[in-house]
A and B are shown apart, each in its own frame.
Chain A
Amino acid sequence: MSDSKRTSPAPHVVEEIDRNLRKAFGQLAEEPLPDRFTDLLAQLRAVDSKKEGDVNDR
């Protein structure tokens, strides 16, 4: 095994590695989101609109 091979795999190997990574992370990213995150965003938004409402009322 040459040094260059060790520091940077052949292009087809790089391609295979990245393809598998994208597939794995693509699966993870497509999982349904837990409610806690949509709930959290809704809460943050509610807090903000309440603040804005207070300012506008003055």
Chain B
Amino acid sequence: MTADPRDEMIEHLGALRAFAMSLTRNAATADDLVQDTLIKAWTNIDSFQRGSNMRAWLFTILRNTFYSLRRKRQREVEDVDGSLSLALASKPDHDGRLNLRDFIHVFEKLPDTQREALVLVGVEGFSYEEAAETCAVAVGTIKSRVGRARATLAELLHLDEDEALELTDSVTAGIVGRQPAA
């Protein structure tokens, strides 16, 4: 008896909810989106290629569902309630210069296409190629969206200035331990 790939879905629920929040920026809409995604994924499990990346497959379904709902509701006012930043724990951020809520507040202002590209590449660790496949665009488009998203965050949060050199230990360690490829 082979394992049912659907048993694996529950492991990705947390990440799916976070991705849905990053797209919708609204907690209730995000959970509705995750529910639709689960039903679609469950009933279309035959289209999942065994052994391939289940998370990427689920993210693709969620993303497609989001944009088709968005098209249907085009005339409705976007109901962004800033849930993404509100959902974050309010404990002070001791190990970083940035307040996480301020950071996410700015992130929420980025265009949809840039938020999703940055989440896939910067958070989920998708390669540019995988992110391009998930978003059904060219690799160069993903690279440019990720670049613009990071540039906007850096500018709005004043990270790309001299003061950004006051690094915390963890960040310094990360940079020292990583040699540039070229």
Binding site for B on A (CB under 8 A): 1, 5-25, 27-31, 33-34, 36-38, 40-41, 44-45
Contact = CB atoms under 8 A, between A and B. Distances in A.
A20 B100 contact: yes
B148 A13 contact: no
A22 B151 CA distance: 17
Nearest to B172: A12
Contacts, number: 121
A5 B123 CA distance: 22
Contacts of B42: 41, 44
Contact of A40 (B6, B18, B35): B35
Given A6-B155, A16-B96, A20-B98, 17 more contacts: A7-B147, A8-B151, A9-B151, A9-B159, A15-B174, A20-B96, A20-B100, A21-B103, A24-B88, A24-B103, A25-B22, A28-B88, A29-B14, A29-B15, A33-B13, A34-B31, A44-B42
